[in-house]
Chains A and B, each alone.
Chain A
Amino acid sequence: MIAVVDYGMGNVRSVERALHALRAEAVITGDPDVLRSAERIVLPGVGAFGVAMERLHGLGLVPVLDELVLERRVPTLGVCLGMQLVCTESFEHGDHRGLGWIPASVRRLEPGEQNLRVPHVGWNDVTARPGASLFEGAGVFYFVHSFYVDPEDDADVAATCRYGVEFAAALECGNVVATQFHPEKSQRDGLALLERFISWQPALAASPA
């Protein structure tokens, strides 16, 4: 059973729909007991980092998630804000602590010299790094975000995207993968990635922080 974590922020229904379309057994839940019986986890998220962490703590979900991810090493997928939450810290509207599963910081996308529009919204090309588990070469995925992830260890970058600068479109570290884009909203390429996640057996030599 794949648990789609419900903490009141995020398009849980879209994720569930996509997983069902791929014939996977998925359940939307914010109940720690139900979560404990999950074989895989998807952590979605739409909105502000600080508010999300408050909610996760407030609902008592952090200990359960830590147990599942760090101890039981359950395959875990963070999506969009979910990818940012797995990081150590974020500088969105202040200074916040994240779940810390992957050492990284979350920073604001800058318009830069090209005066790009922020948020970064739309379909963009994603190039996978060799060995990235959930990707097969390049793909086009849907992004909508104003912040990006800056990992401490470049080896944790699974795929990149270019919007003014090159940034991490996806991370992979042990049993945790995360995408800045929305696979459940990226049709063909997105559904293919989710399908790979459903059967993914992480190599457990490397372990998250």
Chain B
Amino acid sequence: MVKTRLIPTLQLKNWGLVKSRQFAHWRPIGPPVVAGRVYNSRGVDELIALDIDAPRQERTPNVPLLRDLADECFMPFTAGGGVSSPEDVDALLRAGADKVAINTGILTHPERVQRCSREFGAQCVVASIDARRVDGGYEVHVRAGTEPTGLDPAAHARHAVELGAGEILLTSMDHDGMMDGYDVELIALVAQAVDVPVIACGGAGTPEHFVAAVRAGADAVSAASIFHFTRHTPDDVKRHMREAGLDVRL
């Protein structure tokens, strides 16, 4: 059967890679190519790279840098950040990406998202949803987490799938970079609402956290801080997941 995927996420900002905490306080990590090579040599299942400056600067993603990263990946590579048109998607696919993540664009240009899905296939379009806790539930934010939308993540995810997204990348803003565990409630909420695979992101700090995320309904788990700031490697984590009874690729 299809295995549970472990997908590290890279954030591009200011010419290099950074790691955020709760969508703020960015710490530099180093050149993107280095991270790409290290992850590729570790045999991770996929890689996600997001240009987090693009939505704030209202520009298209940094294609040269993303192409450099794609060149290092002999596994599926998802690129995103500031994507809002089929032209953006085409540029990234030509640069070597297999999938493209769209976040703010789902809200601002829904008809374009539909076109992207029709032209390139639903499996190419990943709906990236960032959410934080509010009274009584969760609220979706766009523009790299700076703009609240008043939307509920489950409803927004359903809407994205209707527009043609083939996967959901769900990030908890509260737990981002905190390494204190995924937001399992948020994961369950969205996983139950849609039929497409859900990739959970935000909060992984120990191998056990990944297991909890999958049990809450995630089809794939993504992380960043744990691999930059602790001694855990992706293989470490997968071994733990396998021992917990999950089917992973080792």
Contact = CB atoms under 8 A, between A and B. Distances in A.
CB–CB under 8 A between A and B in the complex? yes
Interface of A: 11, 13-14, 17-18, 21, 46-48, 117, 119-125, 140, 142-146, 162-163, 182, 184-188, 190-191
Interface residues of B, number: 31
Contacts of A11: 93, 96, 98
Given A13-B96, A140-B3, A119 B74 contact: no
Contacts, number: 79
Contact of B121 (A47, A182, A186, A191): A47
Given A13-B94, A14-B70, A124-B3, 4 more contacts: A46-B121, A163-B2, A187-B40, A187-B74
Contacts of B220: 122
Contacts of A145: 123
A133 B73 CA distance: 26
Contacts of A163: 1-2
Contacts of B73: 185
B123 A122 contact: no
B247 to A, nearest CB: 9
A185 B98 contact: yes
Interface of B: 1-3, 5, 40, 43, 45, 70-71, 73-76, 93-96, 98, 120-124, 166-167, 195-197, 219-220, 249
Given A122-B2, A122-B3, A117 B196 contact: yes
A10 to B, nearest CB: 10
A99 B220 CA distance: 36
B1 A124 contact: yes
B1 A47 contact: no
A80 B114 CA distance: 23
